Amino acid sequence: MVALDALSVSVEDADAMTDAEVALFGEPGMPAPKEGWQRSRVVALFPTDAAARDAARLLQAQDFFEGCVVQGVRAVLEQDWVRLTQSQFDPVEITPSFWIVPTWHEPPAAAQQVIRLDPGLAFGTGTHPTTRMCLRWIAQHGPVGPRVLDYGCGSGILAIGAAKFGAQEIVAVDIDPAAVESSRLNAEANHAVLTAGLPDLARGEHDLVLANILATPLKVLAPLLCAHVRSGGHLVLAGILARQADELTQAYAPWVTLQVSDEEDGWILMTALKR
């Protein structure tokens, strides 16, 4: 479809919402249960009606199109796509007084602490349970010390949350340069002072180490993350499914004793106090 100058392409279950639907459930870090559905529908967007019809004719002439059928070509009504996208993102409540608010919304009246954050390329807008649980922990525990490390910072939302609740020396690192830049811009928009960079920027010990990644990399990073937590400091881990609690506990056992501190929609927050 890209070769045919499609503006966008999506693949859907052709039997969705029918008696023939067979749902496929995948989990982060795990192989896909199947390569795809029994029958798939490909939807492509083209700039003009003529371009769409030309693409349909070209596809039907290809050998690989055997067994497929063009279901139709229809016009897409003009819309304000920016406004439509914005309408899908409302303020997110972390606690009754702590909210994540897109820039096009007014903060709720009860909000005493607000992070201004718009959806972007990097993970972390407050809509995912793992992000909410980390921020809730930060809000409930307040300032745990001046030095904070956000490892795998994504949008920088956890580092910004730490700044809102009293952290003074914050380092946010990620392997993705786009996430690093996103963290810098979001921090600036929220008047939060932090240093963002690639993982080699993380040095020394911290009062709080946050890592919202996934279970597999968290296990690999166990010795590194624990080494960054000072004695008496806190470790907060997310991106973990409830069924993965035991394996994370075992992976971190040489350094700290993890416990489940929160749970939401099958995801858990695991924390430890380093002795």
Could you report the per-residue pLDDT of 195-206, keeping only the tens digit for each?
Answer: 999 999 999 999
Backbone angles phi, psi at 236, to 5 degrees: -125, 120
Q: Quote the pLDDT of residue 143.
A: 80
Q: Quote the pLDDT of residue 213.
A: 95
> pLDDT by residue (tens digit) across 127-149?
899 999 999 999 999 888 999 99
Give the chain's end-to-end CA distance (angstroms, integer): 57
Please indicate, yes or no, whether the overall pTM of this predicted structure exceeds 0.85.
no
Q: Quote the pLDDT of residue 17.
A: 85
Give CA–CA dist 146/38, Å, rounded: 54
Task: Supply angle C-alpha 253, 209, 89, rounded to 5.
Answer: 120
Residue identified by tokens 């080699």 is 200
Pairing relationship of beta strands 267-273 and 229-241 according to DSSP bridges: antiparallel
> pLDDT by residue (tens digit) across 98-130?
999 998 889 999 999 999 998 765 667 788 999
Task: Inform me whether the pLDDT recorded for 218 exceeds 80.
Answer: yes
Task: Inform me whether the pLDDT recorded for 63 exceeds 60.
Answer: yes
Number of helices and strands (H, E) in the chain? Answer: 8, 12
Q: Quote the pLDDT of residue 127.
A: 84
Secondary structure E strands in 54-112: 92-95, 98-101
Q: Quote the pLDDT of residue 85.
A: 64
